[in-house]
Amino acid sequence: MLNDNAILVLGAGQLGMAVLRHLAPHAKRAARVSLSVLLRPSTVASTDTAKQQDLADLNALGVHIVAGDLATQSSDELADTFSRFHTVISCTGFVGGRGVQRKIARAALDADVKRFVPWQFGVDYDVIGRNSPQDLFDEQLDVRDMLRAQPNTEWVIVSTGMFTSFLFEPAFGVVDLGANTVNALGSWDTAVTLTTADDIGNLTAEILFTEPRIANRAVYVAGDTVTYREVADALDRARGVKVQRHEWTVPELKRQLAADPESALRKYRAVFAEGRGVAWDKAQTFNAQRGIAVCGLDQWLRDHLPAPDQDRRI
């Protein structure tokens, strides 16, 4: 039976936990709103200490556990689960493999979910378009087409740009702290929008509970929008030393991708280097227009990097 005040979050990874933490206070303030999370049965039964701590944290937030597996269950099976909820928020990322995002969207629509937030916490796929270097993005456009083609389920897309922490992942290769190097994607003037997972969780909760109601459109948020030159300059200030600077041009990154066409990281580098749909004016975002404080690049560096004196001893 449908609960008109029930929210289901899919997944409790980095983003899912952030969304749940920020939804919980809203749910407590609102009348009769319940909050649930879909987790794999193996996660629920796990004896792993970290997973057990996550479950304890969810219990403390008043979040109900729903067992399910987005990767292995059919669209019909997922629809049966989703049909008990008013709102479904997908926080699963691409880890489920190809086709999973379409399956989740199909299940939400078949379940007649009243409100759906798909996994689109990233770039502006409409601007990037089809056949980009990151072929997984085409599936995101398929999901948008599905949502726009139907009148029954309200949807909200939260466009966040790149997760701030991802810019500093060593495997991504843009910021190499060990080598004291920044590799600009495309050019030093190419821009990227960055938002932390915690801010995405907070802003998603604010978007869902804002009045007048937001429906059937993409909402843009941003912790910061910076060029790669500004990233390097910010690291100079934060670390107290000048970073080495290399420019990875679009042709160079596409040659790297051609040499290893299955590399997800090379796909991401190439699409961000092209600079389309990966950055927007922070002044025009939901958080800026509502005066909601967020974590910018300089603040993130202060929070996550050693102090300059410590940094030079590493």
- The tokens for 243 are 């970073």
Question: What is the predicted pLDDT for the residue at 3?
Answer: 53
Contacts of 161 (CB under 8 A, 6+ apart): 122, 123, 192, 193, 194, 195, 222, 225, 278, 279, 280
Reading the block at residue 87, the tokens are 């709102």
Predicted confidence (pLDDT) at residue 37 exceeds the cutoff of 90: yes
For residue 267, the tally of other CB atoms under 10 A from its CB is 20
| DSSP character string of 130-184 | SS-SSTTHHHHHHHHHHHHT-SSSEEEEEE--EEHHHHT-TTT-SEETTTTEEEE
User: Is 90 exceeded by the pLDDT of residue 2?
Assistant: no
Mean pLDDT of the chain: 94
Could you say which of 3.90.1150.10, 3.90.25.10, 3.40.50.12640, 3.10.20.30 is the CATH number of the domain covering 164-191+223-276+294-313?
A: 3.90.25.10
* Contact assessment for residue 128 and residue 271, using Cβ atoms and an 8 Å cutoff: yes
Strand order in the sheet with 224-227: 162-163, 191-195, 224-227
Half-sphere exposure of 255 (CA within 13 A, CB side): 6
For residues 29-40, average pLDDT = 90
pLDDT of 168 above 90: yes
pLDDT band at 29 (very low <50, low <70, confident <90, very high): confident
Give the residue extent of every domain in the chain.
3-162+194-220, 164-191+223-276+294-313
* pLDDT exceeds cutoff 60 at 236: yes
Signed CA dihedral, 163, 20, 298, 306: sign only:
negative
Architecture of domain 3-162+194-220: 3-Layer(aba) Sandwich (3.40)
52-56, 197-201, 229-233: range with lowest mean pLDDT: 52-56
